[in-house]
Amino acid sequence: MYTIKTFQQLLTDKLAKHQGTTVEEASDKDLYYAVASIVKEEMNENWLKTRQKYKEQDERQVYYISMEFLIGRLMESNLLNCGMLDVCTDTLKSLGRDPEAVYNQEHDAALGNGGLGRLAACFLDSIASLRYAGHGSGIRYRYGLFEQRIIHGNQVELPDYWLKEDYPWETRKPEEALKVQFGGEVHTHRRFDGSLEFSYNDVDIVRAVPYDVQVAGYDNDVVNTLRLWSAELPPEDSSILADSESKYYHHLDHMHSIEQISGFLYPDDSHYEGKELRIKQQYFLVSATLQNIIREYKERHRAPLHKLHEKIVIQINDTHPSLAVPELMRILMDDEGFSWEEAWEVTTQTIAYTNHTTLSEALEKWPVDMIKNLLPRVFMIIYEINERFCKGIWFDHPELRDRIPEVAVIAHDQVHMAHLAIVGSFSVNGVAKLHTEILKNKEMKPFYDLFPEKFNNKTNGITHRRWLLQVNPKLSDVITEAIGPQWIKQPSKLIGLMRYSNDQPFLDKISSVKQHNKLVLAQLIKERTGITVNENSIFDVQIKRLHEYKRQLLNIFHVIYLYNELKDNPALDLTPRTFIFAAKAAPSYHMAKEVIKLIHHVASVVNNDKDIGDKLKVIFLENYNVSLAEKIIPAAELSEQISTASKEASGTGNMKMMMNGAITVGTLDGANIEIRDLVGDPNIFIFGLNSEEVLDYYAHGGYNAKGIYHTDERVRKIMDQLNGGEFGSQEIEFKDIFYHILYNNDPYFVLKDFDPYIETHELIERSYRNQKAWQKMSVANIAYSGKFSSDRTIHEYASDIWKLKPLK
Ligand SMILES: *Cc1c(COP(=O)(O)O)cnc(C)c1O
């Protein structure tokens, strides 16, 4: 292993050879690339060895297909996993350089929107760290999730051209490129033996070029691969010489439209839009991945493809890659000569599907005509899948006959992707206990009645290596000092901290780490916003995508309520609070953007009111992404997880903050329930409607938002302030929010949960005044957070669904 001395030598050599510079002269960027190159070389050898071992041991392997991988930065996590983080940081310091400044040179890889994409990235880290043979497969978008700027309180979006400088963690593999076909006409021929053969006319061919990113396991020499596909014009196409200007322009247009397939990430989170380019992206990913899987299988095994499912399992992250079902059928039948029955047998034993949401606006349904035109052969297969499935119900389950339109894969001229995924896979999992129960008993009930054995739960997790060890080294040291380092490889060992919950010196250490992290965040807030926050205030944090169901509105209503109280009674004895928000809204999501605007206008009133001083501050940090999350989370004291019950499938932000000692204030939704079950009611603040109550209101009515407006003065005052231009000037007002709540009957129950939310915050305030009791709660949360390591989640996937054994 390296010492400061040897690492320094290595760095000096790199700088001289590759950048032609010295440590003294090198910019932070030079240093960044030099370190990256050292780490990459370190991983290369193990990368090769890992692939060889997989070949030799010939065990089952998983392919995790996802349209999103919200990777963030890789420098520190790669250094950490390779055991070089400390020595690198110390070396940079010894050279008089700021390690933070060097690591900050990396542009986030934001190839995802939020929780779903970050989950995929955490899973890759755990798969490698637990020595499983697993491969990620995604798209190398040239533009990642937009960069958010706030101008006069309004969100504006800038393109995220993250590849403008070299991305050091990828390796282009042009020799492994594949072809993906779109459009054209299908012709069916009958062979002599009666089987069918399909040929195509006028197809568009797109070249899928893989870029491989190494995924290093923690301290175990395993290096797996995340393969990201880029869409390019096939070289033979570009060699056609244009002999006229119009042909030349046509050619450029064609190239442009092909490159658009991996051009940008759709910025919608938990929302579906039936855009043709999006389905092209999905098919591009799925077809390239499946061809690649078959090619690798053939290279590796002499066994026939009929045994594919014995060696390979494919996990699809939500329905986005659900065309994997018909595409695998197509390859097996058309390219490999399988009969329908043989192909169906293999396909439905190979593919497993993870459901991420029951929000109806997020369920993918593609127009039949779009799929038929774009993917004619794939559509024929979907059609046949639907025919056979519906006939099966008709004959084998007559009791479900009248539910056929509800479960059909094709209905009302739309292809229902969740139904395709369920019918075509052997496992369907939800992402938290409550979510899986809602799937089984409500959302997907007819499917559960048909295939109970397919349904299972896998509660989400986060990699504790990034979200504790890397982002909060001081807390990690305090933990290790108390219980030893075993928790790093076995996070469930964190429970050992419970022995220290009455140990005053230990509680003091926990508390001084939090105080330190709060100071660091306060400094960042000062740099980015110019606002000085009170470092003894409660750091009350809500950071996540902006969505009505996540109810940032309820949080800002609480802020307005406290502001009104203080204005009415300046002598009120209130524990100071700093409300910290960070959130991106989908560019076309009007109501979400109104909420961002409201937060900013409330902030400007509250933060500039001399009567308020530093009792209340409202901070909105722009451009929420993984590296910003890493800076906020270690300083969080209160974790706001206040979604309308039943709406948040799991949540993972809740787990990250719990692991860093924040106390959750939340509804009984998603994984909050499992957090409560572990830490117990005294160590969490639960409030509001539960999922049954919410679902019951949706089903039977009985909720009247106007009634609350008329009876609760606090609510009426806030609503009237929104309507009357109190926050903002003449031109800026929040009538849209006002009318939406009152005239659409408050679909997310903000007014309904207002009173219990306020009451809970009063309890929180009283609890915070007893710092010792608060530190004990904090320790309990850290201690029980081990269960939410994605290592636990991946162990469960590996043993229940994937049937993988760890590499020897
Ligand atoms: C963890 C994470 C999320 C998910 O947060 P939730 O609170 O579970 O919605 C979204 N975005 C980023 C950048 C994250 O790190």
DSSP labels, 497-534: GGGGTT-HHHHHHHHHHHHHHHHHHHHHHHHHH-PPP-
Beta bridge partners of 619: 580
Evaluate whether 738 touches 553 at the Cβ level (below 8 Å).
Answer: no
CATH of the domain at 304: 3.40.50.2000
- Whether 608 maps to a domain, the answer reads yes
Q: Does residue 698 belong to any structural domain of this protein?
A: no
In a domain, 710, yes or no: no
Q: Is residue 156 assigned to a domain?
A: yes
Buried b (16+ CB within 10 A) or exposed e, 251-278: beeeeebbeebbbbbbbbbbbbeeeeeb
Claim to verify: residue 432 and residue 301 sit in the same structural domain = yes
Confidence band for 726, pLDDT divided at 50, 70 and 90: confident
Decide if 171 is catalytic: no
> Atom of ligand 1 at shortest distance to CA of 656?
1
Q: Is the pLDDT of residue 161 over 90?
A: yes
Q: Which structure tokens are listed for 518?
A: 């709060």
Asked which of 458, 493, 517 is the last residue of a domain, the reply is 458
What b-and-e string marks burial along 782-799, b requiring 16 or more CB atoms within 10 Å of the CB?
bbbbbbbbbbbbbbbbbe
Q: Choose one of 406, 434, 458: the last residue of a domain.
A: 458
Same domain, 293 and 427: yes
Are residues 575 and 426 part of one domain?
no
Report the separation in Å between the CA atom of 789 and the middle of ligand 1, taken as the mean of its atom positions: 15
One domain for residues 89 and 131: no
* 545 CA distance to ligand 1 middle (Å): 7
653 vs 720: CA distance, rounded Å: 33
Active site residue 40: no
Whether residue 188 is contained in a domain is answered as no
Distance (Å) from CA 119 to ligand 1 centroid: 9
Selecting among 377, 584, 656, 740, the annotated active-site residue is: 656
Please check whether residue 454 lies inside any domain of the structure.
Answer: yes
* 656 labelled catalytic: yes
For residues 539 and 680, state if they share a domain.
yes
Contact 206, 180 (CB under 8 A): yes
In a domain, 239, yes or no: no
Q: Ligand 1 centre and the CA of 654: distance in Å?
A: 9
pLDDT of residue 158: 98
Average pLDDT over residues 490-497: 98
Residues 45 and 157 placed together within one structural domain of the fold: no
Q: Output the pLDDT for position 199.
A: 87
Residues 103 and 122 in one domain: no
In a domain? residue 719:
no
- pLDDT, tens digit, 9 for 90 and up, residues 418-447: 999 999 999 999 999 999 999 999 999 999
- Domain hosting 152: range is 62-73+111-165+216-224+267-458
Report pLDDT digits (tens) over 756-803. 999 999 999 999 999 999 999 999 999 999 999 999 999 999 999 999
Do 633 and 500 sit in the same domain of this protein?
A: yes
Is 73 noted as a catalytic residue in this protein? Answer: no
Q: pTM surpassing 0.95?
A: yes
The proportion of the chain whose per-residue pLDDT surpasses 70, expressed as a percent, equals 99
Cβ of 629 less than 6 Å from ligand 1:
yes
CA–CA gap between residue 481 and residue 495 (Å, rounded): 14
Q: Are residues 508 and 454 in the same domain?
A: no
How high does pLDDT run on average in the chain? 96
Are 16 and 119 found together in one domain? no
pLDDT digits (tens, 9 = 90+) for 563-579: 999 999 999 999 999 99
Asked whether the predicted pLDDT for residue 448 surpasses 90, the reply is yes
Q: Kindly name the residue from 330, 544, 547, 597 that is annotated as catalytic.
A: 544
Please state the rounded mean pLDDT for residues 191-218: 93
- Structural domain tally of the chain? 3
Do 615 and 671 belong together in one domain? yes
Q: Is the pLDDT of residue 238 over 70?
A: no
Phi/psi for 187 (5° steps) reads -115, 135
Q: Which of 458, 487, 515 is the last residue before a domain boundary?
A: 458
Catalytic pick from 14, 118, 227, 356? 356
Instruction: Note whether 657 and 573 are same-domain residues.
Output: yes
Separation CA 303–CA 429 (nearest Å): 30
